[in-house]
Chain A
Amino acid sequence: MRNSDTIGGFALLFFAGAYALAASNLRLTSSLGIGPGLFPMSLAGILGFLGVWIVVKSYVNRTRDTLKVQEEAIPYRSLICISIGPIFFALLVEPLGVLPALFIAVFISCMASPAMTIRAALVCTAFLVSFCMLLFGWGLGLPLELFGPWLSFAG
């Protein structure tokens, strides 16, 4: 990985640009004087300025104290498992219901750790899901739909 500050600075610049683009349809003025778009636009401007500052600084530092190399691989496994878990829940909760969706989501997340075996993950997931159902459904009284339309055979 190269100098992380350079990457970070450019990422900020990119975000500031995208944000300004998304806010470009908002009016800068209104009958009240200042419009809904002024604040977002100025924020994008400030962030862009900070991005340039960080990038410039990273180049200055690079010549001074050589490269600060950070050799760490991106942990694709945990990154993917931890983010896919909630996404599966979001996709499945309406057709399948809370219980199966949570089970699948937590099981996928368990796979993020290489130390976890399938068996341990299953046991762990089953325990956690029942604990969550007890706590949120019964303990806090949230009206959770345990099984969704695809799984309710009665109606």
Chain B
Amino acid sequence: MDLFANLVLGFSVASTPMNIWYCFIGAFFGTVVGVLPGIGATATIALLLPITLNLEPLPAIIMLAGIYYGSQYGGSTTAILVRIPGEGSSVVTAIDGHKMAQRGDAGLALSAAALGSLFAGLVATVLIGVFAIPLSYVALRFGAPEYFSLIVLGLVASVTLAHGSIPKALAMIVLGIMFSIVGTDLYTGTRRLTFDQAALADGISFVVISVGIFGLGEIIRNLQGGQETQKEMAKINRLFPRWRDLCDMFAPICRGTALGSFLGILPGAGATLSSFVAYSVEKRFQKGPYKLGEGAIAGVAGPEAANNAAAQTSFVPMLTLGLPANPVMALMIGALVIQGIRPGPGVISSNPQLFWGLIASMFIGNLILVVLNLPLVGLWVRLLRIPYKYLFPAIVAFCIIGVYGMSYSTTEVWLIAGFGVAGYFLVRLDFEPAPLLMGFVLGPLLEEQMRRALIISRGDPTVFLERPISAVLLAISLLCLVLMVLPSLSRKRTEVFEDSAEV
């Protein structure tokens, strides 16, 4: 079987000592940032992007992927022990997980989270391998008009599932595209919007935008938060679950995995959304000694499995279509492009080692994470005690030296200061910066495909509607937009997100 041979290839490249080392580093850093509430996976990956420039593509992407799923693990540890969810996706875990901890079952909650994540991670990894190839075959048949419409759909869909105001999210996408086309035009060689700055001729670097907005901008916002409170910490006793506990968590884990795997592929807030959905599903299947919301093991195992599965399967559209399902995937695309690899349907055949190596590394990474998380849990908890005032200067230092070390250009350091301030005001005015990142990554591709399509059609814009696949994709995008704007539905959507915000 093909899949088997491919996985063997993947494991042979992923299990070299160097790649395992980077996988470990990624998982380690991921857990650290997952535990620390001030920094998220997006910011960390943005900060570490400059470092990966000096690596080969495979170790670079392995490390970045490790940060991503590692942060999902780390976030749940603090959610259970101190009721501080480090990541959005572990907000639900905090409900039942912390109740369990108060009852004296902290160890059980931790191991339910870890085992759920492990199982989901392994299953989702296999799913990526199974689904990636057929999807990429479909995508390979796409011409420029189809690709253009697919990107439009991807961008629109990412707004549907993001929270907040719709016109604002759309505006952020457009803003991202606007920044992305600064620089030399590929078709005519004209310099666009560079204001005669030589440093801008190559465009604004992806790292500059992400480090500025997600690194510096976040700090300004976090410092506004003010008081840091010390929370009481639950004691950890027995880590290993009994046979009966294992039986209790098995079904929720399976349900969570299935849900998360599916939702992760869709654009939008995959991991976070799927953990909420998994929680509401578990409410219907209640069983066992404790009710959901009062410390039920299903309320930890299900959502944790779901968010980890979603974190993994969100790699599918990124690797096969070149479309990011969430901002972290947008960062991954950015990282790969800097390495000279354009993610898309061609990657599997042109770079099989990269593709299958990454998949195999997720397998290895999930195992590393269990080892890192369960025995070392005391270490992570101690990390929570580091005050933010010592943390943020470190982030600033990393931002500056990382961006400067990329090309030794002072213009880019100026720019991160500007984007940092801009990032703060965006969030303050309730504009979510994540769609901006999506627009920035997809902008050049969108324009290229549009112009290519128009050149082939000799300037006739109806080409997007004449090609059937393209027309269908555009129709779905339009439908999504209309449905979102319709008052009844948009109210329902707000309710869903308000529900989740209360938790």
B-contacting residues of A (Cβ < 8 Å)?
4-5, 7-8, 11-12, 15, 19, 22-23, 26-27, 30, 32-37, 39-40, 43-44, 46-47, 50-51, 53-54, 57, 72, 74-75, 78-79, 82-87, 89-91, 93-94, 98, 102, 105-106, 109-110, 112-113, 115-116, 120-121, 124-125, 128-129, 131-132, 136, 140-142, 144
A-contacting residues of B (Cβ < 8 Å)?
51, 54, 165, 167-168, 170-171, 174-175, 177-178, 181, 185, 187-188, 190, 192-193, 195, 216, 219-220, 223-224, 387-390, 392-394, 396-402, 404-405, 410-411, 413-414, 416-418, 420-421, 424, 428-431, 447, 450-451, 454-455, 458-459
A33-B410 contact, Cβ under 8 Å, with A4-B429, A26-B192, A106-B396: no
When the two chains form their complex, are residues A106 and B393 in contact, meaning their CB atoms are under 8 A apart?
yes
User: What's the least CB distance linking B444 to chain A, in Å?
Assistant: 10
With A93-B410, A93-B413 already in contact, 15 other A-B pairs whose C-beta atoms are closer than 8 Å: A4-B429, A26-B192, A36-B187, A43-B181, A47-B178, A50-B167, A50-B168, A54-B167, A75-B224, A83-B417, A89-B400, A90-B417, A106-B396, A128-B393, A128-B394
User: What's the least CB distance linking A25 to chain B, in Å?
Assistant: 9
Distance between Cα atoms of A108 and B64 in the complex (Å): 30
Distance between Cα atoms of A30 and B186 in the complex (Å): 13
The secondary-structure label for the interface of chain B is helix
CB-CB < 8 A to A98: which residues of B? Answer: 401, 404
Distance between Cα atoms of A34 and B453 in the complex (Å): 11
When the two chains form their complex, are residues A72 and B224 in contact, meaning their CB atoms are under 8 A apart?
yes
When the two chains form their complex, are residues A33 and B430 in contact, meaning their CB atoms are under 8 A apart?
no
A and B contact pairs by CB, cutoff 8 A, 24 listed: A11-B429, A19-B178, A22-B195, A23-B193, A27-B190, A30-B187, A34-B455, A47-B174, A47-B178, A54-B168, A57-B167, A72-B428, A79-B421, A86-B400, A86-B417, A94-B410, A102-B397, A106-B393, A106-B396, A106-B397, A109-B396, A113-B388, A113-B392, A142-B405
Across the interface, A44 reaches (CB within 8 A) one of B178, B389, B431, B455, namely B178
Residue ID in chain A nearest B458 by CB atoms:
A33
When the two chains form their complex, are residues A39 and B450 in contact, meaning their CB atoms are under 8 A apart?
yes
When the two chains form their complex, are residues B167 and A112 in contact, meaning their CB atoms are under 8 A apart?
no
Distance between Cα atoms of A112 and B219 in the complex (Å): 9
CB-CB < 8 A to B394: which residues of A? Answer: 128
User: What's the least CB distance linking B226 to chain A, in Å?
Assistant: 9
User: What's the least CB distance linking B445 to chain A, in Å?
Assistant: 12
Residue ID in chain A nearest B399 by CB atoms:
A86
When the two chains form their complex, are residues B400 and A35 in contact, meaning their CB atoms are under 8 A apart?
no
User: What's the least CB distance linking B427 to chain A, in Å?
Assistant: 11
Across the interface, B454 reaches (CB within 8 A) one of A33, A44, A128, A132, namely A33
When the two chains form their complex, are residues A132 and B224 in contact, meaning their CB atoms are under 8 A apart?
no
When the two chains form their complex, are residues A132 and B397 in contact, meaning their CB atoms are under 8 A apart?
yes
Q: Which 4 A-B pairs have the closest CB atoms?
A: A33-B459, A8-B429, A90-B413, A90-B410
Across the interface, A136 reaches (CB within 8 A) one of B177, B396, B405, B413, namely B405
When the two chains form their complex, are residues B420 and A54 in contact, meaning their CB atoms are under 8 A apart?
no
